[in-house]
Structure 1
Amino acid sequence: MEGLVDLGRYDMDPSRRSVIGAGLFSVALTVPNWPDVVGRMEAAHTGQVQRVGMPEVHVVTAMTERISELDDQFGGRHARPMAAAFLVNTVAPYLRADAPPPVRKAMLSAASDLCYLTGWMAVDEGTHGVAQQYYLKALELAGAAEDHLTFCTTLRGMSVQAVDLGHGRQAMRLADAASAASPQAGPRMRAFLAGQQAHAAAQTGEHGRALKHLREAEVAMEKAESQAKALGSYDPAALQYHSGQVRYEMGDTRGAIEALQQADRLRDGVFRRTRVHKRALLAERQLSIGHLEAACATWDQALDDYPLVQSGRADDHMRTMLTLLRPHLRNRTARALHERACTVVPVTQTA
């Protein structure tokens, strides 16, 4: 197991560990049976763990869920240091400890899921090299655990990173690999994978293939929504976002705007970081076809949430907004938005 326990050490600033540790224990207080969770975390941190069981696996799973919730609400810059600290101080000792084979497998799977989440947050923060290291560690752990779900999810996350950076062909290979690695996927997972395949295919100019995958995602989502609600963030709003991205890549900006507007109407209110990102993207699309007033209204909504979000992608969108507004400052609405933004966006972003 020694090759699997070097988790996140390159991502930790020793001067911040005490602050991050305090934050982690604050998160632990929100987990059911928190005294037991805190006790197990302290035992791992002090090196007292010799053998682990399913209670330790549940600690990792519960903490991953809570950190994910913080990421959704406040962005990766707040939550990722906590995840990195938890990986180093608690999860790595758990992986080094003795355990029965079923517990070992479950712990590897739980650690893989946390590594994937940490990589996802690193992408949001804009530290793409760090994200790739976490993603590769997630794949390694998921493979050792025979966890096909997290393995496929991580490949898909790597595809999302690639397509957002404009590496369409690499994104397509990763999306196809994710799909091939999950032949028994249920309908929601099938939609999750096919939607990303559609986006990547559209970026590479394979429009027929993009539409085929988008239709697969739509059919799978209809089946998923007709069944009991499943855990996971891929939902009709996420599918509409993919539809919007496919249409934009194919030159249908108006169709893309309609899909993004529908996604915004469907989006769960708890996903604040996602709301800022998607609304800013919608405003950029609106302005690109000359709808200045509509774009300003959408950006104004994004600004409502932005001060509460610590996200590199959100910062990038704010810089883009300020740049795009400058030629329109004679317009009263654009000028008012620009003035409001200058009171909300940090000086380092407005420069």
Structure 2
Amino acid sequence: MTTRQPNAGLERLYRESGWTLRQFAQEVNRLGTERGTPLKYQQPPVHQWLSGHLPKDAVRPLILEALARRLLRPVTHAEAGFPSPEGSSSHPTTVEGLVDLGRQDMDPSRRSVLGAGLFSVALTVPGWPDVVGRMEARERNPKLRIGKSEVSAVRAMTERLSDLDDDFGGRYARPMAAAFLVNTVTPYLNADASSETRNSMLSAAAFLCYLTGWMAVDEGAHGRAQQYYVKALELAGAGGDHNTYCHVLRGMSVQAANLGHGTPAARLANAAAEAAPESTPRMRAFMAGQQAHAYALAGEKTNALTSLREAERAVNQAESQLGTFGGFSSATLAYSTAEVRHALGDARGSVDSLHDHFRHRDSSDMQRSKLIFSSLLAERQLQIGHLEAACSTWTSVLDEYPAIHSGRIDGQVRKISSLLSPYRRNSLARQTAERAISLTGK
């Protein structure tokens, strides 16, 4: 009879974490809920893992992610004493991986399964030198040749998909974006083309891939969004599109910040700013505003305020120019200021800045962000004791909510009833909560 050997690797990581067995189990359970597969582990199973019992396949990624978030660094299967996952030796090319990713995403009926991917704070992000100008050698399709018109078509279609996403939410637009990626764009990446056209198509594909990832974020499929983002980085590098590469990194920081992961958000925002190929006021505002929010979430107050002042200066310098990079405007700056203030504990100041945001908005701003930011305003109005103002703001959200199909807004509307539950004796609060329940069923 053999004796099971303790898992020395996992034991080492556990000691480094400083957790109790109960805390370890709670973190794994929390990530299970985040992934959409609730778990109910307690101390005994954790003790068994440390003693050498192998956790279930589906649980191992949760254990690694929990440790990575605690230790603020990647944790591998080998380091934790786990066998490598099946198929881990296979490395599909960028195009093959994009096809597989898009095909899985084209069927809305599979969305609940695909949305179960877990957001990784320790995701390996390819640096610009690692991807610039690189693309795997592949067989060209001599029967298909593309030129500027095909590139223009992809860019135009991306704009239309972006408009649909802005107006109606990612749930409707993402299957269309994935189908367009798989059926039209990836064949173009294998087509015969001049060097200039090929790079332009890679750039167009990169931004479409980024947009599809942005839609996945809106739907709450955060692990899947990260997969799209990494593909977008690879395509942007292959096409030599430095601006899109930095844009995607910043988007990844926004995703991390919205999930409350301040340190990874700051790391990604700094990487985007450091890799930026230009230093115009537009670009500086776009990058510094996100750095400020990320720093605030990470508890770095001085850096947050310094970055916010830099964003303010850059916006003032860019206001006289036509447009701003990434749509960063006075309205965006006010929202960034609101997020920085809230992260630093100034809820009242955050409310004032959100009011500033809405004063600066214009017809070019998207409907979805209006509802998201209005929901945040209502929550913070309630936080500072302005119950009637909060209910009024929520009422405006509920008036327009049925037309938007956004996972993020769904989540915010579902919270209304619980947030107002202490105020049920107030007729306005009760009516607002009941209306939210009638629209969401929760």
Settle same-fold status: TM greater than 0.5.
yes
The residue that corresponds to 1:122 in the other structure is 216
Percent pairwise identity: 58
SS at match of 1:50: strand
User: Could you list the runs of 5+ residues in structure 2 that have no partner in the other structure?
Assistant: 1-91, 111-140
CA contact (8 A) 2:263 2:298 kept: yes
User: Could you list the runs of 5+ residues in structure 1 that have no partner in the other structure?
Assistant: 17-46
Out of 348, 357, 366, the position equivalent to 1:254 is 348
CA contact (8 A) 2:266 2:291 kept: yes
Letter matched to residue 275 of structure 2: A
Letter matched to residue 335 of structure 1: R
CA contact (8 A) 1:49 1:93 kept: no
Mapped to 1, the partners of 2:312 and 2:241 lie a distance apart of 26
How far the C-alpha of 1:275 sits from its partner, in A, is 0.7
- 1:142 and 2:232 aligned: no
CA contact (8 A) 2:378 2:390 kept: yes
Letter matched to residue 81 of structure 1: P
Out of 165, 170, 173, the position equivalent to 1:79 is 173
Mapped to 1, the partners of 2:330 and 2:184 lie a distance apart of 36
CA contact (8 A) 2:242 2:277 kept: no
- 1:189 and 2:283 aligned: yes
- 1:316 and 2:316 aligned: no
The residue that corresponds to 1:57 in the other structure is 151
Out of 87, 95, 98, the position equivalent to 1:5 is 95
Aligned length: 316
How far the C-alpha of 1:15 sits from its partner, in A, is 7.3
Mapped to 2, the partners of 1:210 and 1:258 lie a distance apart of 18
Mapped to 2, the partners of 1:68 and 1:104 lie a distance apart of 23
Out of 325, 329, 336, the position equivalent to 2:424 is 329
Give 1:155-234 correspondences, 5 Å limit: 155-230=249-324, 232-234=326-328
Change (3 A) 1:85 1:185: farther
The residue that corresponds to 1:133 in the other structure is 227
The residue that corresponds to 2:395 in the other structure is 300
Give 1:328-347 correspondences, 5 Å limit: 328-343=423-438, 345-347=439-441
Give 1:261-280 correspondences, 5 Å limit: 261-269=355-363, 270-280=365-375
Mapped to 2, the partners of 1:107 and 1:117 lie a distance apart of 15
Mapped to 2, the partners of 1:307 and 1:202 lie a distance apart of 33
Mapped to 2, the partners of 1:125 and 1:50 lie a distance apart of 35
Higher relative contact order (CA 8 A, sep 6+): 1
CA contact (8 A) 1:49 1:94 kept: no
Letter matched to residue 419 of structure 2: L
Q: Tell me the alpha carbon deviations over residues 118-148 of structure 1, each in whole angstroms, 9 at most, x when there is no partner.
A: 1111101100011000000000000011111
How far the C-alpha of 1:98 sits from its partner, in A, is 0.8
**TM-score, length-normalised on structure 2?**
0.69
Mapped to 1, the partners of 2:163 and 2:309 lie a distance apart of 30
Mapped to 2, the partners of 1:328 and 1:282 lie a distance apart of 18
Task: Give the stretch that moved more between structures: 7-16 or 334-343.
Answer: 7-16
Mapped to 1, the partners of 2:405 and 2:188 lie a distance apart of 30
How far the C-alpha of 1:338 sits from its partner, in A, is 2.0
SS at match of 2:145: coil
CA contact (8 A) 1:109 1:145 kept: yes
Mapped to 1, the partners of 2:106 and 2:315 lie a distance apart of 39
CA contact (8 A) 1:188 1:221 kept: yes
CA contact (8 A) 2:286 2:326 kept: no
**TM-score, length-normalised on structure 1?**
0.86
Letter matched to residue 93 of structure 2: G
CA contact (8 A) 2:286 2:325 kept: no
More helix by share: 1
Mapped to 2, the partners of 1:124 and 1:48 lie a distance apart of 39
Q: Tell me the alpha carbon deviations over residues 56-89 of structure 1, each in whole angstroms, 9 at most, x when there is no partner.
A: 0001000000110111111111111111010000
Runs of 4 or more off by more than 6 Å in structure 1? none
Change (3 A) 1:48 1:326: farther
CA contact (8 A) 2:166 2:367 kept: yes
Change (3 A) 1:262 1:153: same
Mapped to 2, the partners of 1:135 and 1:208 lie a distance apart of 30
Task: Give the stretch that moved more between structures: 166-175 or 185-194.
Answer: 185-194
Change (3 A) 1:63 1:185: farther
How far the C-alpha of 1:229 sits from its partner, in A, is 2.3
The residue that corresponds to 2:47 in the other structure is none
Change (3 A) 1:178 1:192: same
Mapped to 2, the partners of 1:261 and 1:14 lie a distance apart of 37
Letter matched to residue 105 of structure 1: N
Mapped to 2, the partners of 1:15 and 1:131 lie a distance apart of 18
Mapped to 2, the partners of 1:267 and 1:319 lie a distance apart of 26
Q: Tell me the alpha carbon deviations over residues 300-319 of structure 1, each in whole angstroms, 9 at most, x when there is no partner.
A: 11112211110110011011
Mapped to 2, the partners of 1:208 and 1:139 lie a distance apart of 30
Mapped to 1, the partners of 2:146 and 2:279 lie a distance apart of 31
Mapped to 1, the partners of 2:347 and 2:435 lie a distance apart of 28
